Amino acid sequence: MGLDYSYEIFVPARNVATALTTLTELAPPERHVPPLSLTLPGGIGLEVPYTSQFKSDPVDCSTAATLQLDTSIMVAPDDAVLEDRGGRPTEPDELGRIQVGYVYLTVTFASQFHPGYASLNFCAATSSMSRMFERSPNMRAVFTDLTAAGGGVCCLLDTESDHFTICWLNGRPVHDTVPGPRFPDDRALADTWPDPHP
């Protein structure tokens, strides 16, 4: 079995469309697939430059618990990102970023941590990419920046160990763990999040 490391960000459920719109700004500039039409809970319509289960058929998830997307993300290369490329040619965009992907995204509209928050779980497609997720400061910044831009409260890195690494919490970058001395379990972490329905 390969490694399946992932980043998971938590946003108020009402902010899913905002988070996905922000994510599209990180998509490769040249699309090789037609836009995917989504209908989110609440009837919100959105087009994204991705596929869902490698198909471009419209997806109505207005009453669904989850949404799956096949994404690619542009990231500024650092040593870990370049190592993951393994010498394969890179085509930087005008900002000097290169493409990472596929990255498999599962949106859960009512997360197990707190039903008022949605989670966006970004899973690496390969073991090499998983190691890059863990080692790359620039990749981590992509997900913490996405958390902040989407009005999120928390970003976790899952390395399939006995704990999650907390990368972002309540408006600032952190380096902590759950479970750990400060947060013995998921509930203790979620209890620090603000009310998602102010």
Determine the pLDDT at residue 1.
Answer: 63
Per residue in 99-123, pLDDT tens?
998 999 999 999 999 999 999 999 9
Say what the pTM is. 0.95
Question: What element of type H or E holds 146?
Answer: helix 137-149
Per residue in 73-95, pLDDT tens?
999 999 999 998 887 777 788 89
The count of other CB atoms within 10 Å of the CB of residue 2 is 11
Per residue in 126-135, pLDDT tens?
999 999 999 9
Contact 167, 177 (CB under 8 A): no
User: Quick check: 143 pLDDT over 80?
Assistant: yes
Residue 101, sorted as left (phi over 0), alpha (psi -120 to 50) or beta, turns out to be left
Per residue in 38-63, pLDDT tens?
999 999 999 999 999 999 999 999 99
Task: Please name the residues in contact with 169: beta carbons below 8 A apart, sequence gap of 6 or more.
Answer: 153, 154, 155, 176, 189, 192
